[in-house]
Amino acid sequence: MPLEMPPSALGARVAALNDRYRHHSATAVLERALHDPEVGSLALVSSFGAESVVLLHLVSVVAPGTPVIFIDTQMLFPETLEYQRDLAQRLNLTDLRTIRADRRDTDFADPDGTLNQFDTDACCHLRKVVPLERALGGFDGWITGRKRFQSGTRSALEFFEDEEDRRIKVNPLAHWGREDLEDYIVNNRLPRHPLVARGYPSIGCAPCTSPVREGEDPRAGRWRGAKKDECGIHFINGRAVRGPLPQDHAKEDAA
């Protein structure tokens, strides 16, 4: 069962954890977070996207029995589903949990599967946010692969975050750069997502992901043309962050 505590206590714990592990490596943060009673029970949430193999491999080495939650939006690329099956087998992920939106919800809110064409936020909420919230109900926190370099809204990312006074969010790779990821993949001979070679450095649902041209931001292909660069499963100040934050929010950025 998740640890119970007053809201103010969670924020204090997160601050203490960031102070304790501030100078630790990604591997040390991950390993100790998985065994630190001050953190509680954790699950890794993975999209099995372009960079996911790094954190999945780290978890498979540090604590292979860690629950891994994969959100199948039922709009993913076939290559992502194939990659997910391949990695789960290669890395011997023993507690992989594939979650999907409740069919009753999709039948009501998106019966013809076209919601993404009219309201991408509503589609993400239906197919990602709600199923993930249900899946995380039995955990004290979750592990993400977010990194500071990925976009301006992540530039102040810490190892530990307080998610709306409900759960802890752990970001072991927060300080890694693109070159660190590349070196890790090469040195450990890890398989890459097949779409990376076809110009997809950031991969989401098929209808909302396009190739990225040379010189563009790696996330430029996500929801191209829309004022949106997050799916909504990360929050700040009690709301989903779906785009760049105003400058005065830089220090509290948790997207």
Nearby residues of 178 by Cβ (< 8 Å), 6 or more positions away: 149, 218
Rg (CA), the chain: 17
Q: Is 231 a catalytic residue?
A: yes
Indicate which residue of 123, 205, 208, 231 is catalytic: 231
| CA pair distance 91, 189, nearest whole angstrom | 12
The answer to whether 87 and 119 are in contact (CB under 8 A) is no
Cα dihedral value 221, 223, 227, 228, nearest 10:
-100
The answer to whether 42 and 56 are in contact (CB under 8 A) is no
Show the beta-strand stretches assigned E in the chain. Answer: 42-46, 68-71, 96-99, 141-143, 160-163, 167-170, 235-236, 239-240
Q: Which of 194, 181, 185 is nearest to 82 (CA)?
A: 194
The answer to whether 128 and 232 are in contact (CB under 8 A) is yes
Burial of 81 (0-12, 13-18, 19+ CB in 10 A): middle
Catalytic residue numbers read: 231
